[in-house]
């Protein structure tokens, strides 16, 4: 039987170390909503989402209450809208009307984000894909809760450089369209290489076409729990360090598995995956950078950071895999800047640069995330940064992403405040040298040789 020590340990993780379930994300297929009439399409989308998700928030709260574990976010992901709207949308305004429908239904069912205003263009773009991408600035500046993502490359297909060039422009346009809110629109826009179909985390969540009609995916989080566990093994060797992370990750993930199974049973929706993640928030003690410091670095970004992050990421997966029957999504440590107080401190101390962050993305989950850059950064420079990150993902057969925010009207040395879970960020300098001619070539970068495994 459970003993007092175990109960106290679990409850201290929750009350003192910020253990929580970061998100229950309900994936909903919109493929059966496709219609050539835009009005009917919007109506079908509204009803499908509303009917599927009306009990999501209350169920999440009920589970949270019964088990005493906070469930921070309840969210929805839908089939990439470029696929759904292709038959009906003839202009960017047509596509943006779908974003409006998603925003409206998100408000009504009470979720804080809805993902899937997306296009998958890793090899080429259809006219609908292009139209959706061009509608992103309008969609994100006229909605509050809609998140957008675009998959620009994969290990199997190579990198679609036409789309990379276009996305450099779209990121800048989105920043301009939302400049009154410190270019907040870009915080809801992410580009991927090797985007997973079952990611529960925003801004990149969408419900892939390989998925069932509805699915429950859960993302856990507990950087504070890992840090506290590591503080008890200071000075011990790497074997002890790794074992400690692994055991802690197991415990954290078990909570995610429990919540996922409960949500699945109560909503009558199949359980998809648990995303084994260490997702920070701006709250003190909820930081991945602090774990790196606990491992032995003065600041995130110091020499040794990449190695420390690599082992952290690997041990989180090793511990988590056994704790859950299905794992997926992004699974790993997230290293967003604005959402992690330790990362912000590292940037302010001059310890962490974009180049070091890029190196770190080679060994952990996702990529350049929530990084504020000067508003006068050129479109081609943004495309160049995207291309670098896509290449890392393509060659290493992993998911990589870019979510950078060119803050219009602000420069290096200034700070931008996004609020809430999105946090605040010092604006980081970008390499000033040009990549114009590289980006303007157009076409595709072929898939790497090791992708041919057939």
Partner 1 sequence: MNKTIITVVGKDTVGIIAKVCTYLAENKINILDISQTIVQGYFNMMMIVDTNQMEKIFGEMADELHTLGEEIGVDIKCQKEEIFDKMHRI
Q: Exposure of 83 by Cβ count < 10 A (0-12 exposed, 13-18 middle, 19+ buried)?
A: buried
449 is an interface residue for partner 1 by CB under 8 A: no
8 is an interface residue for partner 1 by CB under 8 A: yes
Integer Cα distance of 111 and 114 in angstroms: 7
Q: Which stretch binds partner 1 (CB under 8 A): 67-75, 111-119, 299-307, 371-379?
A: 67-75
What does the longest C-alpha to C-alpha distance in the chain come to? 67
Which residues in 213-252 contact partner 1 (CB under 8 A)? Answer: 251
Choose between 236 and 247: whose C-beta lies nearer to partner 1.
247
Choose between 50 and 326: whose C-beta lies nearer to partner 1.
326
- Name the minimum Å distance from CB 2 to partner 1: 5
Integer Cα distance of 165 and 380 in angstroms: 7
- Name the minimum Å distance from CB 262 to partner 1: 8
Identify the residue among 3, 235, 239, 454 touching partner 1 (CB under 8 A). Answer: 3
Rg from Cα positions in the chain: 21
Angle at 143 between CA 82 and CA 159, to 5 degrees: 35
39-67: b (≥16 Cβ within 10 Å) or e: eebbebbbebbeebbeebbebbeebbeeb
* HEC secondary structure over 338-398: CCCHHHHHHHHCCCCCHHHHHHHHCCCCCCEEEEEEECCCCHHHHHHHHHHHHHHHHHHCC
Q: Which stretch binds partner 1 (CB under 8 A): 8-16, 90-98, 113-121, 426-434?
A: 8-16
Choose between 9 and 298: whose C-beta lies nearer to partner 1.
9
By rule CB under 8 A, what count of residues binds partner 1?
21
Identify the residue among 107, 123, 134, 254 touching partner 1 (CB under 8 A). Answer: 254
Choose between 229 and 385: whose C-beta lies nearer to partner 1.
229
Integer Cα distance of 237 and 240 in angstroms: 6
Q: Which stretch binds partner 1 (CB under 8 A): 4-12, 101-109, 266-274, 279-287?
A: 4-12
Which residues in 23-62 contact partner 1 (CB under 8 A)? Answer: 62
278 is an interface residue for partner 1 by CB under 8 A: no
Integer Cα distance of 279 and 366 in angstroms: 11
420 within 8 A of 220, measured Cβ to Cβ: no
Identify the residue among 4, 237, 303, 437 touching partner 1 (CB under 8 A). Answer: 4
Strands 415-417, 424-426: pairing kind:
antiparallel
67 is an interface residue for partner 1 by CB under 8 A: yes
Structure-token match 């574990």, residue found: 69
Integer Cα distance of 436 and 332 in angstroms: 33
- Name the minimum Å distance from CB 20 to partner 1: 12
- Name the minimum Å distance from CB 66 to partner 1: 5
- Name the minimum Å distance from CB 330 to partner 1: 23
User: If we measure between CA atoms, which residue out of 200, 261, 208 comes closest to residue 72?
Assistant: 200
Structure-token match 């998925």, residue found: 211
Identify the residue among 16, 40, 65, 90 touching partner 1 (CB under 8 A). Answer: 65
32 within 8 A of 78, measured Cβ to Cβ: no
- Name the minimum Å distance from CB 147 to partner 1: 30
How many residues in the chain? 454
Write the binding mask 123 to 142 for partner 1: x where contact by CB under 8 A, - elsewhere. Answer: --------------------
- Name the minimum Å distance from CB 224 to partner 1: 16
- Name the minimum Å distance from CB 166 to partner 1: 46
Identify the residue among 66, 237, 239, 437 touching partner 1 (CB under 8 A). Answer: 66
434 is an interface residue for partner 1 by CB under 8 A: no
Q: For binding to partner 1 (CB under 8 A), which residues are involved?
A: 1-4, 6-11, 62, 65-69, 251, 254-255, 257-258
């Amino acid at each position: 039987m459970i003993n007092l020590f175990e109960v106290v340990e679990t409850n201290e993780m929750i009350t003192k170390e910020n253990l929580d379930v970061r998100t229950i994300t309900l994936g909903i297929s919109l493929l059966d909503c496709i219609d050539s009439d835009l009005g009917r399409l919007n109506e079908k989308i509204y009803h499908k989402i509303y009917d599927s998700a009306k009990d999501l928030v209350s169920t999440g709260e009920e589970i949270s209450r019964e088990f005493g574990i906070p469930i921070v976010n309840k969210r929805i992901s839908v089939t990439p809208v470029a696929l759904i709207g292709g038959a009906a949308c003839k202009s960017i305004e047509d596509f943006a009307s779908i974003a409006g429908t998603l925003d409206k239904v998100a408000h009504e069912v009470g979720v804080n984000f809805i993902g899937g205003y997306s296009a998958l263009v890793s090899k080429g773009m259809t006219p609908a894909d292009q139209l959706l991408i061009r509608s992103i600035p309008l969609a994100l500046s006229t909605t509050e809760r809609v998140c957008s993502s675009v998959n620009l490359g994969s290990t199997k297909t190579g990198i679609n450089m036409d789309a990379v060039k276009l996305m450099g422009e779209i990121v800048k346009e989105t920043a301009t369209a939302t400049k009154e809110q410190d270019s907040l629109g870009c915080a809801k826009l992410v580009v991927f290489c090797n985007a997973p179909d079952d990611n529960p985390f925003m801004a990149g969540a969408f419900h892939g076409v390989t998925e069932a009609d509805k699915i429950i995916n859960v993302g856990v989080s507990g950087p504070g729990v890992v840090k506290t566990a590591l503080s008890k093994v200071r000075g011990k060797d790497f074997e002890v360090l790794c074992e400690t992370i692994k055991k802690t990750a197991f415990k954290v993930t078990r909570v995610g598995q429990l919540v996922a199974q409960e949500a699945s049973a109560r909503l009558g929706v199949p359980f998809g995956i648990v995303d084994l993640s260490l997702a920070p928030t701006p709250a003190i003690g909820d930081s991945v950078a602090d774990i790196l410091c606990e491992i032995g670095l003065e600041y995130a970004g110091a020499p040794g950071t990449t190695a420390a992050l690599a082992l952290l990421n690997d041990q989180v997966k090793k511990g988590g895999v056994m704790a859950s029957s299905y794992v997926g999504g992004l699974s790993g440590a997230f290293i967003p800047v604005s959402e992690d107080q330790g990362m912000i401190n590292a940037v302010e101390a001059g310890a962490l640069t974009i180049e070091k962050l890029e190196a770190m993305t080679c060994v952990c989950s996702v990529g350049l995330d929530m990084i504020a850059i000067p508003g006068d950064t050129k479109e081609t420079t943004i495309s160049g940064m995207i291309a670098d990150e896509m290449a890392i993902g393509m060659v290493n057969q992993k998911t990589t992403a870019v979510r950078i925010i060119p803050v219009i009207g602000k420069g290096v040395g200034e700070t931008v405040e996004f609020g809430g879970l999105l946090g605040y960020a010092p604006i980081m300098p970008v390499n000033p040298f040009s990549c114009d001619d590289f980006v303007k070539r157009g076409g595709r970068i072929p898939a790497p040789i090791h992708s041919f495994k057939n």
